[in-house]
């Protein structure tokens, strides 16, 4: 039974899906806190609390999306249809989140809660099924790692586009009116550009991918699915590792723009006079990080083929821990070293993310091997849950820590506040990398074990196909 062949076009199409998601994910992680405090006009503590309240519900919502996907039956498959159904709402609410209506402070807070909550639910409805596709496109472990690598390469490519273009587009659009600089309009129009691109990419992902893997037992009860998940130890370990990695990334990402605006203080890198556009140091910092992420993703396959997925993850997180701590001691005037550390920390992060996506597929196979039942969507909901919980913790802490250290938007910061911002790019992210190491140390599914599981499942699936053809 040849179920593992995946064409180059299909891998690219699969990558397009995460390029679309990642454009807005980077807008959220890098700029949303800053947008709410410095453009929209609500306090960092309010934003941090909103992130905590809304994201906890949103993360809990993800397994139900996975369950829904497992029970969806269409001519396009279980998971692909959600790309088609959700792409337009995704684009619309992505723009609404970066819009600034003329409301009172309480009205703005209510607007932020509503648009943010709905956008995160829509994100789940498109991203959980998208992630689940990896588990049903192929049953070959190396092909899954290859798909995960394409996914993350395109994800970082989408992120690179946003981080390279967001601030220049905002700068460009904010100067287009006749009433001076309007940053609120600049952010809204920039979000429109990214929304259009995302919708197109989601559609191409839907068109170019295919679902192949059929479970050994097609129909299962919801009770059985949750019972199987409860006994899936690798799933819980990956959930913890995923939360740790996203926390490490999100707290660094969320604090970076504050670091350059309020600690380094020199923002402008250079100008493009022909377009009346300014390129900031923070934009270059973000672009360099995404470029390093892509390099890390490309290194994932050759390194993991030699060291295994688990060993590669551990080494990358240990190196990231050391570099994060070092970042605290870099002087604000040493921009070159700031950028060097950003490159290598981001490279380590880029290596780990494809490994986790590939391991989720392994955890799904492990569950099917143990129980003779498969719940791909529910298992892969861990990927989105880890993103949401990691970002919940990192985002909420970013807002609360800014408040604790006395941050005041658009003002010169105290030395205490500046030190807090530095901590959010160094010691606090290192907590996430250390936790990631601890979780991965107890992860049980190595290459040898997965080869044994894969061989057993292949026999069962061949029997299923023979019975269906009889």
pLDDT along the chain (470 residues), means of 10: 73 95 87 91 90 78 82 88 96 96 93 94 91 83 80 85 88 82 93 97 95 63 69 84 87 86 70 59 85 87 87 94 95 91 94 82 79 65 66 79 86 90 94 94 84 81 65
pLDDT, position 19: 95
Nearest to 297 by CA among 191, 94, 153, 111: 153
pLDDT, position 342: 95
pLDDT, position 387: 65
| C-alpha span between 239 and 389 (Å, rounded) | 9
Q: Which SS3 state, helix, strand or coil, does residue 268 take?
A: strand
Q: Which SS3 state, helix, strand or coil, does residue 410 take?
A: coil
272, β-bridge pairs: 277
- Radius of gyration of the chain from Cα atoms? 22
pLDDT, position 361: 76
Question: Is residue 74 left, alpha or beta, with left meaning phi > 0 and alpha meaning psi from -120 to 50?
Answer: beta
Q: Residue 335 in contact with residue 284, Cβ under 8 Å?
A: no
271, β-bridge pairs: 278
Q: Residue 327 in contact with residue 340, Cβ under 8 Å?
A: no
Nearest to 404 by CA among 255, 247, 250: 255
- Write the CB contacts of 89 (distance below 8 Å, at least 6 apart in sequence): 122
Q: Running DSSP on this structure, what letter comes out for residue 413?
A: P
pLDDT, position 1: 40
The tokens describing 337, both together, are: 């070293």
pLDDT digits (tens, 9 = 90+) for 178-237: 777 899 999 999 999 999 999 999 999 999 999 887 654 455 566 766 776 777 788 888
Which phi and psi (to 5°) does residue 211 adopt?
Answer: -95, 130
Which phi and psi (to 5°) does residue 109 adopt?
Answer: -65, -45
């Amino acid at each position: 039974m040849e179920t593992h062949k995946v064409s180059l076009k299909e891998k690219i199409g699969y990558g397009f899906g995460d390029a679309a998601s990642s454009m807005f994910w980077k807008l959220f992680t890098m700029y949303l806190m800053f947008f709410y405090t410095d453009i929209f006009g609500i306090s960092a503590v309010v934003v941090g609390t909103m992130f905590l309240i809304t994201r906890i519900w949103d993360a809990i919502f993800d397994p139900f999306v996975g369950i829904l996907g497992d029970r969806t039956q269409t001519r396009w498959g279980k998971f692909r249809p959600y790309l088609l159904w959700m792409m337009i709402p995704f684009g619309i609410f992505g723009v609404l989140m970066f819009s600034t209506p003329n409301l009172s402070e309480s009205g703005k807070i209510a607007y932020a809660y509503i648009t943010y909550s709905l956008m995160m639910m829509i994100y789940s409805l498109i991203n959980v099924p998208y992630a689940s596709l990896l588990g049903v496109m192929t049953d070959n472990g190396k092909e899954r790692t290859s798909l995960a690598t394409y996914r993350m390469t395109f994800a970082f490519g989408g992120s690179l586009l946003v981080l390279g273009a967001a601030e220049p587009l905002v700068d460009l659009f904010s100067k287009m009116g006749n009433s001076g600089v309007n940053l609120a309009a600049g952010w809204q129009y920039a979000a429109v550009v990214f929304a259009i691109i995302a919708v197109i990419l989601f559609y191409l992902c839907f068109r170019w991918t295919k679902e192949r893997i059929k479970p050994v037992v097609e129909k299962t009860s919801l009770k059985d699915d949750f019972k199987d998940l409860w006994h899936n130890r690798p799933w819980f370990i990956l959930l913890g590792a995923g939360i740790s990695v996203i926390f490490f990334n999100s707290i660094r990402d969320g604090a970076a723009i504050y670091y350059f605006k309020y600690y380094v203080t020199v923002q402008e890198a250079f100008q493009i006079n022909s377009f009346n556009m300014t390129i900031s140091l923070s934009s270059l910092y973000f672009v360099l990080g995404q470029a390093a992420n892509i390099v890390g993703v490309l290194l994932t396959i050759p390194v993991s083929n030699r060291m295994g997925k688990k060993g590669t993850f551990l080494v990358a997180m240990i190196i990231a821990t050391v570099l994060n701590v070092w970042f605290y001691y870099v002087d604000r005037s040493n921009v070159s070293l700031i950028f060097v550390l950003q490159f290598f920390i981001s490279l380590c992060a880029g290596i780990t993310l494809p490994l986790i996506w590939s391991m989720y597929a392994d955890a799904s196979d492990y569950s099917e091997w143990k129980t003779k039942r498969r719940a791909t969507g529910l298992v892969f909901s861990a990927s989105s849950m880890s993103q949401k919980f990691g970002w919940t913790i990192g985002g909420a802490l970013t807002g609360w820590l800014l408040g604790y250290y006395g941050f005041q938007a658009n003002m010169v910061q105290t030395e205490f506040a500046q030190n807090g911002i530095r901590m959010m790019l160094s010691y606090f992210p290192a907590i996430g990398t250390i936790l990631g190491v601890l979780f991965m140390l107890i992860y049980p599914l190595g290459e040898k074990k997965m080869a044994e599981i894969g061989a057993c499942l292949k026999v069962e699936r061949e029997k299923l196909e023979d019975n269906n053809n009889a």
